[in-house]
Structure 1
């Protein structure tokens, strides 16, 4: 259970970081297209 919960926490962080990176890239992409 401990290992599973640990993986879940890491997965949540990966999703948050991944979505943040996508948002940053899309914002930069919009600025470049302008």
Structure 2
């Protein structure tokens, strides 16, 4: 079974990175 806390942290990091990338791409257009 996968460690839920570790997976959650990984997902959170990936999401944050994607958010930063998306923001820099369309300058927070949909925000």
Answer yes or no: same fold by TM over 0.5.
yes
Q: Runs in 1 of length 4+ with deviation above 2 angstroms?
A: none
| Structure with larger Rg | 1
- Alignment root-mean-square deviation, CA: 1.5
**Alpha-carbon offset, residue 19 of structure 1:** 0.2
Q: Deviations over 1:5-30 (max 9, x none)?
A: 0000000000000000000012xx8x
Give the structure with the higher percent helix.
1
* TM-score of the aligned structures, taking structure 1 as reference length: 0.68
